[in-house]
Chains A and B, each alone.
Chain A
């Protein structure tokens, strides 16, 4: 026998079941999308964001994938990520080795961005941080080999600021200098002109996303000399300055006068 009250209970139960089903379904769907989102946060190292781009996770929360930055790039540097570009589908990127950023003074890509995924506070292109150039090919770079290529240094829009040539001794010839292209991360904008211009088949200097390019000290690290400068004097007073002990006569070594060979190594070691 089904009274009106009984029927109502069944309806309510069905409704509840339907609601739970829908919420669970939507929940699973949301989780799936979320995982896809996490996956999309990993960006290939050679896929660089336009100037002013927010940090990757924030960028993916902001960029509407409209392509207005791409349209306003006068050098056709930017493109929208397709499948296999190693960046979230439809987001803008450029590949330095293909077309680097020409660092327009008026930064039209940033101005065009309607959402602020490219931060409108960036008004001086020299403050851009699209990545950091790193001379990764230290075994192939012609300057490292002792030649004077210097191309990366010459094309750098911030020559002698972002890239300098640092002299060092050429151990191979024993009498020449090597001019080592040296990137200064505080000045480098990551425009990629150096990577584009590198004369090697595979560029020795590459622009990498900053988090890959730069090391980072532990937050608790204190550099003694910095602390000393800030404090005006050494933080540790009354340090006994022990005399430096040489190894010259053999008697003063920690190993009690073990004999050394011509190359300076111990001939035998008896603890």
Chain B
């Protein structure tokens, strides 16, 4: 890998730390900006937020929730329709640093072996969890959800529940490359569905400058999403990465030596040609 930028990675780690600090400021320092957990929270006593997947499970389990939860989920969906569905995964979720750490260690140790899982499996996990909620009338995924279990452990004290996060780490390190976030997690799958229509996207705005160094493919947690935008011009694909699986982590923007990528609106079909940018055409 050539000279890599760190801007978006650092911003993302700061964001993850910010959300952890926000939820911990109350219990640890008595600064009650946010009460609750990522499942449902109340900010400054006025802003209710509720995880849309939890609300959906509840609806399927035939419970009609109070307006607070409905409003909270609507606000969350609206928010992620703006900033990118799986921005939740890369900028907020407390498990992302865990799986990123596992991935980092996996690369360091040169572990290449692993189970191959289809990234579509998470959609079936999501379907199964929703079916179970409907059939058995309970919040089925919340019985085992590592995301909410870990966040609850963080905010309310975990004890044995930390083993869930450790398990995810070990799974990603030893069993499957980017196994959890990239292949199995139905929370990510649900936010991915929201992301199919979200406004803020990564765009390969200078894709003409791409010299096939593959650095972006190496760092991208969902490398499939790059191809149409980066190399699909001949097939009529625009430069914007439209796949809901893209987490808007911005790591590709960081590492690209040719500055191909940038954040853009999904409707922004413009492309910078080399000539426009640098004044001369470099073949």
* CB neighbours of A40 from chain B (8 A): 138, 143
Interface segment, one of A31-39, A97-105, A254-262: A31-39
Contact A26 B68 (CB under 8 A): no
* CB neighbours of A22 from chain B (8 A): 120, 124
- The reply on A159 being an interface residue by CB < 8 A is no
**Residue of B with least CB distance to A79:** B156
Specify which of B129, B137, B161 is in contact with A61 (CB 8 Å cutoff).
B137
Specify which of A26, A64, A90 is in contact with B125 (CB 8 Å cutoff).
A26
Contact with B along A171-214 (1 / 0, CB 8 A): 00000000000000000000000000000000000000000000
Specify which of B62, B63, B140, B152 is in contact with A65 (CB 8 Å cutoff).
B152
Chain B CB within 10 Å — which of A27, A40, A70, A115 has the most? A115
- A–B Cβ pairs within 8 angstroms, 15 of them: A25-B128, A26-B128, A34-B135, A36-B143, A61-B62, A61-B138, A62-B61, A64-B69, A65-B142, A68-B40, A83-B159, A83-B160, A89-B143, A115-B66, A116-B63
- The reply on B136 being an interface residue by CB < 8 A is yes
User: A26-B128, A30-B135, A90-B148 are contacts. A67–B155 as well, Cβ < 8 Å?
Assistant: yes
Contact with B along A61-75 (1 / 0, CB 8 A): 111111110111000
Contact A65 B148 (CB under 8 A): yes
Interface segment, one of B48-56, B86-94, B212-220: B48-56
- The reply on B72 being an interface residue by CB < 8 A is yes
- The reply on A227 being an interface residue by CB < 8 A is no
Size bin of chain A's contact surface: 35 or more
Contact A37 B138 (CB under 8 A): yes
- The reply on A250 being an interface residue by CB < 8 A is no
Count of residues in B whose CB is under 8 Å from the partner chain: 51
Q: How far is the CA of A33 from the CA of B126 in the complex (A)?
A: 12
User: A25-B124, A40-B143 are contacts. A115–B152 as well, Cβ < 8 Å?
Assistant: no
Contact B156 A58 (CB under 8 A): no
* CB neighbours of B158 from chain A (8 A): 82
* CB neighbours of B155 from chain A (8 A): 67
Specify which of A57, A70, A83, A114 is in contact with B138 (CB 8 Å cutoff).
A57
Contact with A along B61-75 (1 / 0, CB 8 A): 111111011001000
Q: How far is the CA of A58 from the CA of B189 in the complex (A)?
A: 27
Number of A-B contacts (CB under 8 A): 155
* CB neighbours of A38 from chain B (8 A): 136
Contact B135 A120 (CB under 8 A): no
**Residue of B with least CB distance to A82:** B159
**Residue of A with least CB distance to B152:** A90
Specify which of B62, B66, B138 is in contact with A116 (CB 8 Å cutoff).
B66
**Residue of A with least CB distance to B124:** A26
- The reply on B149 being an interface residue by CB < 8 A is yes
**Residue of B with least CB distance to A25:** B124
Contact B36 A68 (CB under 8 A): yes
Contact B51 A30 (CB under 8 A): no
Specify which of A37, A66, A72, A117 is in contact with B37 (CB 8 Å cutoff).
A66
